[in-house]
Structure 1
Amino acid sequence: MKRLTSLLLLMLCFFLLSDRFKEPPPLADSWLTTGDEQHLLENQPAKLFQDDKQDLPTIFVDKHKTYQQMDGFGAAMTGSSAYLLEHKLTAKQRDALFQDLFSESGIHLSYLRHTIGASDYSVDDRGNPSSYTYADQQGTLEDPLQHFSTAPDRTVMNMLKLAKISNPELQLMGTPWTAPPWLKYGEHTYNGSYLNYADQRTYEIYADYFIKYLLDYKEEGLDIDLLSVQNEPQFETAAYPSMAMGAAEQQYFIQNFLGPAILDAGLRTAIVAYDHNWENSKDYAETVLNGASEYTAGTAYHCYAGNPENTAEIQELHPEKGIYFTECSGGAWGEDFGDNLSWLMDQVIIGTTRNWSKTVFLWNLALDETGGPTNGGCTDCRGVVTVDSQSGNSKKNVEYYALGHISKFVQPGAVRISSTELPHLSTAAFWDQKEDKIILLAANTSNTTQTFQLEEENKHLPYTIAPQSAITFVWEGR
């Protein structure tokens, strides 16, 4: 009898202790931005997941179903952005803004794109429009790039270096708007035209041009991680630096010249093709990926025509290649904060990542109160931040908060995982395996309040989100 009693007591103690030490439900932190601007990436009180499931529309999160690995999030350090940041801010203002943009205490941007030579946002040290390449003057027959120099990029380099101080892990992408005019066919101009295909040495010289650029930047401590061959190759204009490049030509250049040159130089820069709108992208992407697969990491896209679902077909055809989203600009054409937030979250932040993009870049990192200074392009674009050219004060725009909802929480190396969507509720989920954290972005794109619950590993979290608002949840994996 004594032995039986002891056994019963032991079993009772085991039951009580096992219940006491049962893994507690996860605690979810969250950050909210509302369409009425009452909350701007604001940390909310933490909430406990619950065992009980309520009768609510449910967003299911499953970390066991994984998709692409994320590379990073950011914007473009254009010449105009760099000029404003270096010349219109005091050192104190600049340091504070860079903390807000690049450090863990801010939105922790992890990637910057810059223009190889001039774009429609390139200016000189006085803020005047400036078109240039790194080899405006043709050299000798033996040394065509004799006059090559990245010196016109000094201000851009300075700001990239400063950004890397705030985030030492910051990655960089380079994109040209035009080749040196003397390498173009017909009239030698920055604005428009295309490479001189009649002279095959053109491609060899242009590949050398890229290598010199990559090595120069590397010497400055600025390794270029990602390289696209031509910005918006299906568009050329007389208004600003630009150049057309057909799919077959891009494939030929990458496969026979640029790819081997990067390999021979011992560089690790990855090449991406296309770098243009979602719309009508399939044939171009396929041509390059099918013919220059050995040297091409994937394809890049912009937001100005089409929709992010266009890239899913490319991913299905070439699952071994990456999808990269590299440009989208806000502007004065969209003034309402809530409308802009909903579109950015639904189409750009969530839409691109749900459709396999490894990166999300917006366009100008900073512009002034007039949307400038410009070099012949958009006259009403908006930067991620607006810098007052008189006072140096900076304003965080809707683009800052939309980017922040992903860049602050999803670090490079995290993987996208499965998350269901609901009517008017767009979602994207990620698993940071290094920190073992789950991140869920949700955006209410409707004009009415939405109530739902999260479900992950049979734990539930009910939540009500205001109209045209976005929230990021973060909780520990189990």
Structure 2
Amino acid sequence: MSATMLPVCSEVKEDQLAVEVYETAANGHQLQRITECCTADTAGTIRLKTEKTFQTITGFGGSFTQASAYLLNRLSPENRTRILEAYFGESGAKYALTRTHINSCDFSIRNYAYAPVPGDRTLEHFSIDEDRRDLIPMIKDAMAVSQDGFRIIASPWTAPPWMKDNNDWRGGKLIPEYYETWALYFSKYLVAYREAGIPIWGITVENEPLGNDCNWESMHYTPREMNDFVSRHLGPRLRADGHEVKILGYDQNRGEELREWVNTMYGDDAAASYFAGTAVHWYASTYEFFPDNLQYAHAAAPDKHLIQSEACVDAEVPRWQDDQWYWSREATDWGWDWAPEADKYLHPKYVPVYRYARDIIGCLNNWVDGWIDWNMVLDRKGGPNWSRNWCVAPVIVDPENDEIYFTPIYYTLSHFSRYIRPGAQRIDFENTQERLQVTAAKNPDGSLVAVVLNEGETPQGFHLILGEASRRLSIRGQAIQTILISTQN
């Protein structure tokens, strides 16, 4: 029997399912509505099973960095507004979950802290004035554009050097005698941002507590040290000061270290009572999303958040106005050159679009409830960045010429953020089309969404089935589709 003759169950009514299909593809489609399917054999089925649900979605989005905010302020007002609308407006990606940095990070113009005076234990000189020129205006303008609003997670890369045992921005550990001061620092930050009109929904205790080889701002914790800081200092301080903020632990890669951290975090009742969830990054591999470790982290705390808090095409300079590069196997990351020999297989060259789409689908299918990209905007050099740690962002700008480039990564992220809304529940599915990767969700308004990825170069057909209705569909080679399914009779 040929693929085109593959039968659908007899109780299913062929082509009775009403759908809207939006596609981004290497052929040039950019979140384009598709009204006619491409020619492809129907080689399998995707059956949506709404009766079984999984995690509730917190949201998708990107990060407010000083670098991005600085660049926006160098553009014309028209282009600045255009980018904010593209990320947060009703016509754009409708980002709902975001991140920003406490103190400076690598994507800052310079090193800075909100308490620069050494020995200021009571933080009398605490001030967020450094953020008022660029970062705070970007966040507030995004808030004005967003109709539904969005949540912000704030993360420190380091405490001020004078609180650390090496007196440096990079590496080192928090001196125990400053644990209480550092906890107070978080509280003062939350108050200062709230007074600036920006509520913070969540914090991570430390960005990448395992370090970054001292290349830029960092501060190290062991799992037990972080537990001690949270249970004895940070948690009690925030609770006493009336902050209803989510505390997320870990905040680094999804390799085997993740298991050690969740075992420690949730194996300690005192610390577990303060942790609202676990934050993870994707840098352990360019293709592997570590489903077993994500499943393990969920099982360790099934009632808590599991949020992907940072991802980017790292160790690369952006390609300007070159869509095909983002669809080709040309990108590399830090591990291509520097990973230990035993781990090099995890870091081959990769297709940037696939890395994003595959990872988000894999994360959703393994209990992750929020997914956050890194910088929203960078320049043609992959900065600005004081440490010369160049990366790629979904939107690249040339401020000297007041030009904008929306890369294919921007549209890839929009396939999820625009259509799978906060409060959605991931739903079960059966997929016999082995060449396609799939995830699906039910939104709070009852609408159903399926996202399909085809990494192959040839079109693929499939029957989409919901209950007793089905639809014959197809997806181009090298393409992503978001399918909106009508539940109305």
Is 2:229 aligned against 1:253? yes
Of the three residues 243, 249, 270, the one matched with 1:273 is: 249
| TM-fit CA distance, 1:418 | 0.8
**1:373 counterpart = 2:384:** yes
Q: Say if 1:30 and 1:46, in contact at 8 Å, map to a contact too.
A: no
Cα deviation, residue 74, structure 1: 0.8
Q: 1:108 aligns to what?
A: 94
**Distance 1:372-1:333 versus aligned 2 partners, 3 A rule:** closer
Task: Supply the distance in 1 between the matched residues of 2:200 and 2:388 (Cα, whole angstroms).
Answer: 26
Structure 1 position 373, deviation (Å) = 0.6
Partner residue, 1:289: 266
1:337 shift after superposition: 2.4
C-alpha distance in structure 1 between counterparts of 2:183 and 2:486, whole Å? 47
Counterpart in the other structure of 1:12: none
1:98-117 C-alpha deviation (Å, 9 max, x unpaired): 11111111111112211101
* Distance of 2:451 and 2:96 partners within structure 1: 18
**Cα distance, 1:356 vs. partner?**
0.9
Asked if the contact 2:42–2:460 (Cα under 8 Å) also holds between the matched residues in 1, the reply is no
Aligned to 1:5: none
The question of 1:464 aligning with 2:447 is answered: no
TM-score by length of 2: 0.85
Q: CA deviation at 1:31?
A: 0.6
- Whether 1:182 and 2:162 are equivalent positions in the alignment is yes
Tell whether the 8 Å contact from 2:17 to 2:470 is kept in structure 1 after alignment: no
| Alignment partner, residue 96 of structure 1 | 82
Q: TM-score scaled by structure 1?
A: 0.87
Question: Is residue 300 of structure 2 the alignment partner of residue 317 of structure 1?
Answer: yes
- Verify the 8 A CA contact 1:341 1:468 in the aligned structure 2: no
CA offset at residue 121 of structure 1? 0.5
Matched, 1:42 2:22: no
Which secondary structure state, in structure 2, belongs to the residue aligned with residue 474 of structure 1? strand
Q: Choose the corresponding residue for 1:150, options 114, 125, 128.
A: 128
Q: State the partner residue of 2:439.
A: 428
Residue matched to 1:452: 462
- Alignment-derived partner of residue 418 in structure 1: 428
Return the match for 2:309 from 321, 326, 346: 326
Is the contact made by 1:330 and 1:399 (CA closer than 8 Å) also made in structure 2? no
Supply the distance in 1 between the matched residues of 2:461 and 2:254 (Cα, whole angstroms). 32
Report the residue type matching 1:64 in the other structure. Answer: E
Question: 1:97 offset after TM fit, Å?
Answer: 1.6
Q: Is the 8 A contact 1:454 1:460 kept in 2?
A: yes
1:340 aligns with: 352
1:122 positional shift: 0.3
Equivalent position of 1:121 in the other structure = 107
Q: Distance in 1 between the 2:21 and 2:437 partners? A: 16
User: Shift of the alpha carbon at 1:208?
Assistant: 0.2
User: 1:25 deviation in Å?
Assistant: 4.2
* Cα distance, 1:465 vs structure 2: 1.1
Partner of 2:6: none
1:240 to partner: Cα distance: 1.4
Equivalent residue runs for 1:359-398 within 5 Å: 359-379=370-390, 381-398=391-408
CA distance in 2 between counterparts of 1:26 and 1:453 reads 10
SS of equivalent to 1:192: coil
On the 8 A contact 2:318/2:392 being kept in 1, the answer is no
CA RMSD across the alignment: 1.9
Equivalents in 2 of 1:45, 1:120: separation in Å?
44
- Kindly state the Cα deviation for residue 265 of structure 1 after the two structures are TM-superposed: 1.6
**Aligned counterpart, 1:221:** 197
Could you tell me which of 107, 118, 124 is aligned with 1:138?
118
Query: 1:66: how far off?
Result: 0.5
Q: Spell out, residue by residue over 1:275-320, the C-alpha distance to the aligned partner (whole angstroms, 9 max, x if none).
A: 1011121101221122211111110111100543121111122212
Give the 3-state SS of the residue equivalent to 1:312 in structure 2.
helix
Counterpart of 1:126? Answer: none
- Shift in Å, 1:55: 7.0
Q: CA deviation at 1:343?
A: 2.2
Distance 1:376 1:368 in 2: 15
Structure 1 residue 377, shift from structure 2 partner: 4.7
2:135 partner amino acid: V
How far off is 1:396 after superposition?
A: 0.8
Helix, strand or coil for the counterpart of 1:357?
coil
What is the CA–CA distance in structure 2 between the aligned matches of 1:467 and 1:248, rounded to whole Å? 48
Q: Deviations over 1:360-385 (max 9, x none)?
A: 11111100011011121522x11120
Cα deviations across residues 11-51 of structure 1 (Å, max 9, x unaligned)?
A: xxxxxxxxxxx9x9442111101123x2011112289xxxx
Of 204-213 and 467-476, deviating more is: 467-476
- For 1:215 and 1:431, the matched residues in 2 are separated by 36
Q: CA deviation at 1:180?
A: 1.1
Residue 369 of structure 2 aligns with which residue? Answer: 358
The CA deviation at 1:342 is: 2.0
CA distance in 2, matches of 1:25, 1:467: 25
Which 5+ residue runs of structure 1 have no aligned equivalent? 1-21, 48-53, 124-129
Structure showing greater radius of gyration is 1
Residues 46, 476 of structure 1: alpha-carbon distance in 2 compared, 3 angstrom cutoff: farther
Q: Distance in 1 between matches of 2:253 and 2:103?
A: 21
- Give structure 2 stretches of 5+ with no counterpart: 1-12, 320-324, 328-350
| Residue 286 (structure 2) pairs with residue 303 (structure 1) | no
Equivalent residue number for residue 14 of structure 1? none
Q: CA deviation at 1:181?
A: 0.9
Identity %: 30
Distance 1:385 1:177 in 2: 24
Assess if the C-alpha contact under 8 Å between 2:317 and 2:380 holds in 1: no
Report the AA paired with residue 79 of structure 2.
Q
The whole-number CA distance in structure 1 between the counterparts of 2:430 and 2:309 is 25
Q: What SS is found at the alignment partner of 1:441?
A: strand
- AA partner of residue 115 (structure 2): A
Q: 2:152 aligns with which of 172, 178, 181?
A: 172
Residue by residue over 1:240-259, the C-alpha shift from the partner in whole angstroms, topping out at 9 and shown as x without a partner, is 11111110011111111111
Shift of 1:222: 0.6
